[in-house]
Every structure is written in C-alpha cells, then in structure tokens.
C-alpha cells in the first residue's frame, strides 16, 4: 500500500512542492542584503577601506567628517581627501595630538582636504601651493605642494614629505587618497619665530638732580622759620614798650 502511495501522481506533486519550497527558502536566506543607497559618506568609505580608525575618530570628534559630507552633498565643486593610515598617526611623536587645542585639531584635519575634486592625472598640471580647507596657503601658514612624476604623486608641506600610496575611492565628485604620513602644516609644526628682544631699560639722567636729596615739604625752610621767629620777637617788644609808656603816662597825670 505504501508503494502505491509513493507512485501516485498526487504524492509526486506534493513532494515536488515541498522540495521547491525548501530550495526557495534556502536561496532567499543566503542572498546578501542590497547595499544601502544614499549620499556620499566619508566615514563609511574609510570604514570599508580599513586601517583608518584614528582618522575616523578625529573626523567624528571635530565634526570635520560631517562638514565634508555636507559640502559634498550640497555642492557640485567636489573634494579631495588625503587619508593618513593608523600607522601614520602612530609614527607621530608621543603626545602630539594631545598637545593640540580643539581648534588646531580641526585645522590639522582640514589641511588634509582640498575643496576641489582632483584625479591623479590632474596633479601634473596644478599650481602650487594648493589651498586646503584649513585656509591661508602662505609659506608660513598652510602651504600644500603636490607634484607628480610618472605614477608617483609627492606631497610636501614644508615640514614633511610623503607620497600617495593608494587610491581608496573616486566617483567624479570625491577622491580619497591614502598617505602614509600625517600632513603637518607649517603654522603648527614648523620652526617657531624667535621671540622679540626685550626693550632696553631706561637710563637715569646724569646731573646734579641725581645727588640732590629729597626735600621734606612738610618741614618749613630755614629762611621761613627764621622770619617767623624774628617777627614774633619784634611784636613782643613793641607791645611791651607801648604798655610801659602808657603806664608812665598814667602815673604822671
């Protein structure tokens, strides 16, 4: 009886239906989720590339990452980012980042961002120094010089030199290039200007005034005290003489 059930068309259709359900369920479970679509996000790009945890942390701490994303998604100008690796930050002198103020950390990260989209081939024709998001490109401020020779792109700040070691991302609007050293701007890491010399001390005028002892204004001068004493004696004599004369006159009368 079991043989008849297995060979019946109804059983075969039922078995085929169950098998098809199992295959469909397995296929759906194994299918990867579609990549999330949305605006360009520098943090997600660096997370996907790996070895940029320090840069990501600084982008979040200073909100420079948000500034990059906002500008990318609200402008057609494009941007170029030089991304130092974790090893690049580890190679800095101990305590370097902690010694920077919040404003200096922002400027340091902005120094790694160009407000224009540049391909590696365009590096051959650009005019130096390039202006970064940090601002003033004067020689003692935030100058960034890029030269290209063959397949090698050199980056110079006046404090350090490095090369672009890899292209992490490019989409016609944003270019992200890996660098193996942190780009250090002149204004924060260059030689410090010498402190101005102190003003010379004022010299005392030479002359008799220097040796003249101070005069106590509260005490009367010798001439004044003498005049006062002499006048008092004279008045006393006059008053006394007048009194004697009046006394003699009364007696005589």
> How high is the pLDDT of residue 252?
55
> How high is the pLDDT of residue 74?
87
Asked if residue 40 lies in contact with residue 73, where contact means CB atoms within 8 angstroms, the answer is: yes
The one-digit pLDDT tens for each residue of the chain (253 residues) are 444 544 566 656 555 655 564 444 433 333 333 334 568 899 999 999 999 999 999 999 999 999 999 999 888 889 999 999 999 999 999 999 999 999 999 999 999 999 999 999 999 999 999 999 998 877 778 999 999 988 899 999 999 999 999 999 999 999 999 999 999 999 899 886 555 556 666 665 555 455 445 444 444 444 444 444 445 554 554 555 555 455 555 555 5
Listed residue (153, 139, 142, 77) closest to 111, CA to CA:
142
Tokens 């100008």, residue?
A: 77
178 CB neighbour count, 10 Å cutoff: 21
Q: How many residues does the chain have?
A: 253
- Residue 214 backbone phi and psi in degrees, to 5: -65, 145
Helix (H) or strand (E) holding 160: none
> How far, in Å, CA of 7 to CA of 1, rounded?
10
> How high is the pLDDT of residue 75?
82
> How high is the pLDDT of residue 236?
55
The structural domains of the chain, ordered by start, are 42-189 (2.30.180.10)
> How high is the pLDDT of residue 137?
75
Token pair for 174: 């944003």
Query: Could you tell me the pTM of the whole model?
Result: 0.62
């Amino acid at each position: 009886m079991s043989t008849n059930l297995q060979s019946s068309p109804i059983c075969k259709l039922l078995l085929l239906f169950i098998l098809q359900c199992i295959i469909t369920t397995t296929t759906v479970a194994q299918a990867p989720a579609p990549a999330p679509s949305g605006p360009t996000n520098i943090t997600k790009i660096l997370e996907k590339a790996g070895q940029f945890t320090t840069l990501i942390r600084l982008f979040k701490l200073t909100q420079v990452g948000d500034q990059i994303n906002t500008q990318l998604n609200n402008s057609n100008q494009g941007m170029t980012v030089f991304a130092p690796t974790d090893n690049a930050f580890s190679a800095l002198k101990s305590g370097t980042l902690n010694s920077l103020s919040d404003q200096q950390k922002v400027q340091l990260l902005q120094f790694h961002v160009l407000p224009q989209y540049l391909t590696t081939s365009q590096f051959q024709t650009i005019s130096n120094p390039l202006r970064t998001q940090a601002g003033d490109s004067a020689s003692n401020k935030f100058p960034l010089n890029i030269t290209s020779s063959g397949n090698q792109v050199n980056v110079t700040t006046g404090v350090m030199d490095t090369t672009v070691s890899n292209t992490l991302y490019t989409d016609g609007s944003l270019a992200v290039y890996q660098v193996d050293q942190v780009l250090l701007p002149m204004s924060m890491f260059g030689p410090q200007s010498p402190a101005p010399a102190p003003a010379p001390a004022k010299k005392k005028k030479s002359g008799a005034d220097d040796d003249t002892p101070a005069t106590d204004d509260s005490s009367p001068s010798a001439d004044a005290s003498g005049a006062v004493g002499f006048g008092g004696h004279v008045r006393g004599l006059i008053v006394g003489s007048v009194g004697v004369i009046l006394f003699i006159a009364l007696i005589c009368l």
